[in-house]
């Protein structure tokens, strides 16, 4: 099992189990998991999310070529 953790906002330097996956999670899995948290909190897209979407779109472009 692959475990994904997120920061615990109430306790610094502590982590919470976000989700367990049978297979290694890829970027799309992480985007779905943490993208839902961003929409709930109303903060918008994080730096990680922005960078990931740039790499993802670049990856799609390269596969199309």
Question: Are 30 and 48 contacting, i.e. CB atoms less than 8 angstroms apart?
Answer: no
User: What global pTM score does this model have?
Assistant: 0.51
Structure tokens at 7: 């920061």
**10-42 residue pLDDT tens:** 888 889 898 899 998 888 888 888 876 555 554
Closest by alpha carbon to 28, among 53, 61, 65?
53
Domain ranges of the chain: 2-64
* Alpha-carbon gap, residue 46 to 9, rounded angstroms: 15
**Cβ neighbour number for residue 34 with a 10 Å cutoff:** 19
Provide the strand spans (E) within the chain. Answer: 2-7, 15-21
The more confident residue out of 43 and 12 is 12
């Amino acid at each position: 099992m692959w475990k994904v953790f997120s920061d615990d906002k109430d306790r610094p330097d502590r982590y919470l189990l976000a989700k367990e996956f049978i297979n290694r999670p890829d970027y799309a899995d992480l985007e779905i998991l943490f993208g839902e948290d961003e929409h709930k909190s109303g903060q918008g897209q994080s730096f990680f999310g922005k960078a990931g979407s740039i790499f993802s779109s670049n990856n799609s472009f390269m596969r199309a070529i």
